[in-house]
Amino acid sequence: MDYSINLRIKKLREKLGLNQREFSKLLSLSGGYIAGIEVNLRQVNDRLIKLITSQFGVNEEWLRLGNGEMFTKKKTDEKAVRIISLYNDLPPHFQDVVLGTIELLRKANNTENKLKNNKEKK
């Protein structure tokens, strides 16, 4: 892979399904800073590399040099990152609705699993 570190950061962001604003928000950076990195106007420093690798479970060697897999063996769940980003964009009253819905889904799943286990025992 002959991409620069700047382009690898863009590829990572795209792989995670995040726009620049969402990606920068998860890293507590400005969207303009990420845009500058992606178009090679800003250099990538060690602090940003550590931030990205810890936040998203990215393989540091891949990020720095393009070697190996994008994610470490302990790969961050890309859907979870996306859900968190979308959740953070909602006003508090909608966040409460999302949490309530997730709790209901978890209960329904538990009930479904109990029914399935009971059928298998018979």
- Please tell me the CATH code under which domain 5-89 is placed: 1.10.260.40
Give the separation between CA 33 and CA 117, rounded to whole angstroms: 52
The structure tokens listed for 60 are: 């540091």
Q: What mean pLDDT is predicted for residues 45-63? A: 94
- Residue 81's pLDDT is 76
What is the model's pLDDT at position 21?
92
Coil, strand or helix at 47 = helix
Q: Is the pLDDT of residue 121 over 60?
A: yes
pTM over 0.75: no
Q: At what angle do helices 31-38 and 5-15 cross, to 10 degrees?
A: 120
Helices 46-56/5-15 angle, 10° precision: 20
Boundaries of every domain in the chain: 5-89, 90-122
How do residues 69-89 score in pLDDT, each as one tens digit?
A: 998 866 556 777 778 888 888
Neighbour count for residue 82 (Cβ, 10 Å): 14
